[in-house]
Copies of this chain bind each other. A is one copy, B any other.
Amino acid sequence: MSQFDNVSILKQANIYFDGKVTSRAVLFADGSKKTLGIMMPGEFEFGTEQAELMEITAGEVEVLLPGSSDWRTVVGGESFDVPANSSFQIKVKQVTDYCCSYLD
CA gap between A5 and B10 in the complex, in Å: 9
Closest-CB distance, A54 to chain B (whole angstroms): 13
Copies of this chain present: 2
Q: Which residue of B lies closest to A58 (CB)?
A: B12
Return chain B residues, CB-CB under 8 Å to A8.
3-7
Closest-CB distance, A27 to chain B (whole angstroms): 8
A85 near B: Cβ within 8 Å?
A: no
- Take A7-B7, A7-B9 as given contacts and tell me if A15 and B58 are in contact as well, using a CB distance cutoff of 8 Å: yes
Closest-CB distance, A4 to chain B (whole angstroms): 5
Residues of A near any B CB (own CB < 8 A): 1-13, 15, 18-19, 22, 24, 26-27, 36, 38, 40, 57-58, 95, 97, 99
